[in-house]
Amino acid sequence: YAMLLSLIFLIVLVAAIVGFVFRHEIKANFETNLNLALKNYNTTVDQHSDAVDTIQRTLHCCGIQNYTDWEKTKYFAQRGIPQSCCKSQDDCPEGDLKDLSKAKLKVFVDGCFFLVTSKMESKMSVVAGISFGIACFQLVGIFLACCLSRYITNNQYEMV
């Protein structure tokens, strides 16, 4: 049991170290995938398009750096900026979404990349604290399992 807990502890420790060391690569990968999702954005049921819509609605943002990122997409040429960027769904006609100067007043102007990464970084201290607490409990468990094993081994020799 102590060996199993030690193995789990080491796996969690390695995962935490790898996440910390490669955090910049994770950001770059996220930005690349967000660019790809915007480029391939469409109105059909698609996981990437749904994810972009959810991020934009939840964080009140639009595009990657700002709302003008949509201008470079195929979707913008057909339908303008997506409805998920609108500040108010009631006051966001499709004609206004095709014109960037009119859309500026109707949509969120901040980009999503900065908001997502800043949200993740702000929550990292909570995740790190919880992980540290779990690691402490695992270390206590490893120590107690070793003590129990030693106690059982010592008692077997006394019984004979």
- How many other CB atoms are there within 10 angstroms of residue 35's CB atom? 15
CA distances from 112 to 4, 71, 119, 152 (A): 41, 15, 10, 58
CA–CA distance, 70 with 25 (Å, rounded to integer): 24
CATH class in words for 1-158: mainly alpha
Reported as half-sphere exposure (CB side, CA atoms, 13 A), residue 86 has a value of: 15
Q: What is the pLDDT of residue 136?
A: 86
Nearest to 83 by CA among 46, 116, 108: 108
Q: Do residues 60 and 109 make contact, with C-beta atoms less than 8 angstroms apart? A: no
pLDDT (tens place) for every residue of the chain, 160 residues total: 889 989 988 888 888 888 778 878 888 898 999 888 888 888 566 788 888 999 999 999 999 999 999 988 888 888 889 889 999 888 888 888 888 888 888 899 999 999 988 888 888 778 878 888 888 888 999 999 999 888 887 776 555 5
- For 102, the token pair is 């009119």
CA–CA distance, 160 with 64 (Å, rounded to integer): 73
Q: What is the pLDDT of residue 20?
A: 77
CA–CA distance, 73 with 30 (Å, rounded to integer): 18
Q: What is the pLDDT of residue 107?
A: 92
